[in-house]
Amino acid sequence: MYIKSLSLKNFRNYQEQHLTFDEGTNVFCGDNAQGKTNLLEALYLFSMGKSFRTVQDADLIRFGEEYTKLTLVFCDRNREHTLEIIILRNKRKQIKINGLTISRLSELVGHLNVVLFYPEELGLVKEGPHIRRRFMDVALSQLRPAYYHTLGRYMRVVEQRNKLIKRIRSSQHTAGLSETVFVWNEKLADYGLELMRYRAEFMERLDALAQKAHFEASGEKLNVVYKPRFTTKEEFLKKLEENFSREVEQGYTLYGPHREDFEIFINDKVAKTFGSQGQQRSAVLSLKLAQADLLFEEYGEYPVLLLDDIMSELDQTRRAYLAGKIPDKQVFITCTELDSLLEKGQQFNVSAGSAQPTIK
């Protein structure tokens, strides 16, 4: 799988840009705040239908303009595909796959698979559970499109249940509302257990691949441990019923996959607590490479790798290891200074919202 070209119109700080890419390494080099990460953001948008930097689609539109249009051409082992995204202010974005308009984001996920490395994700080990949940959700959505459907349904149930809990919290007449919440409990448990089953299978496979990658990179032992809070519907429902008064006090749903986490161990010690910064970064690198390997196992094609200024965050040994893993994959890398490990790739000079191929 590889991306052939990208066209942008009024995207972030790009007024108009068309780029064609090498099937191997592509390097976007330039000073900070010139638009390098914007290019990776545009590529990522075609994979998940959402930015990894903002939840507001309007933020992607160039200042002073009313719309942005992006077009991407990529090839998988079967054929060439064209994807198009148009975002207008205060309107729902339009997405086309090979000229056909889709109605749901879930129809886009799984077409173009990418694995993203960016500095904020170095917090995958040391920061809060929400970053690790996001990692699971994005990786699983690409691997199992049905997971994306179920996650959407589950989160809608959580939203409705939270609204009812808040109404109960502020109302004197709660009998009817409480009964309605218990109806939502059934759906919460059904969708929640389905998500946890997907996660358990995914994390078991990820653990095996991450162990291998981490040992190759550092000679250390890495383990990823996911323990579902519930294994049966009865357990889930009992927990919700026993703690309903506490949920009313807090004003939201306290139990379920939207509150889960997983643990990362290095040499049998909790990486978040005992791992050095270098060890934590190695663990993130191993998890990301394992994610890519898992997609290869599933589809027989490597995903496209997006590396946002990640080389500057790694020491020389880990940079060399990463560089050794990418020659047979399509990779997009941003940097402020060209690393000697990247000199063989297609290079683009990025300045003030313009990316120009470098003539070697």
- What residue segments make up the domains of the chain, in order of their start? 1-113+301-360, 122-299
From the list 24, 1, 40, the residue with the least C-alpha distance to 309 is 40
Mean pLDDT, to the nearest integer, of 28-38? 93
Mean pLDDT, to the nearest integer, of 105-116? 90
- In words, the CATH class of domain 1-113+301-360 is alpha beta
Burial of 25 (0-12, 13-18, 19+ CB in 10 A): buried
350 with 40: CB under 8 angstroms? no
Mean pLDDT, to the nearest integer, of 169-187? 78
Sequence-distant (6+) residues with CB within 8 A of 25 are 326, 327, 330, 331, 333, 342, 344, 345, 346
The mean pLDDT of the chain is: 90
- pLDDT number for residue 90: 83
Q: Is the pLDDT of residue 356 over 70?
A: yes
**What is this structure's pTM?**
0.89
d(CA 48, CA 41): 11
- pLDDT number for residue 174: 62
Mean pLDDT, to the nearest integer, of 67-82? 94
Q: Is the pLDDT of residue 304 over 70?
A: yes
Instruction: Check residues 222 and 169 and name the one with the higher pLDDT.
Output: 222
138 with 287: CB under 8 angstroms? no
Stated as kind and residue range, the H or E segment containing 290 is: helix 277-299
pLDDT (tens digit, 9 = 90+) per residue, 136-148? 999 999 999 899 9
pLDDT (tens digit, 9 = 90+) per residue, 113-171? 999 988 787 788 988 899 999 999 999 999 998 999 999 999 999 999 999 988 888 87
- pLDDT number for residue 341: 59
Q: Looking at the domain 122-299, which fold is it?
A: Glutathione S-transferase Yfyf (Class Pi); Chain A, domain 2 (1.20.1050)
Assess whether the region 1-113+301-360 and the region 122-299 belong to the same CATH fold: no
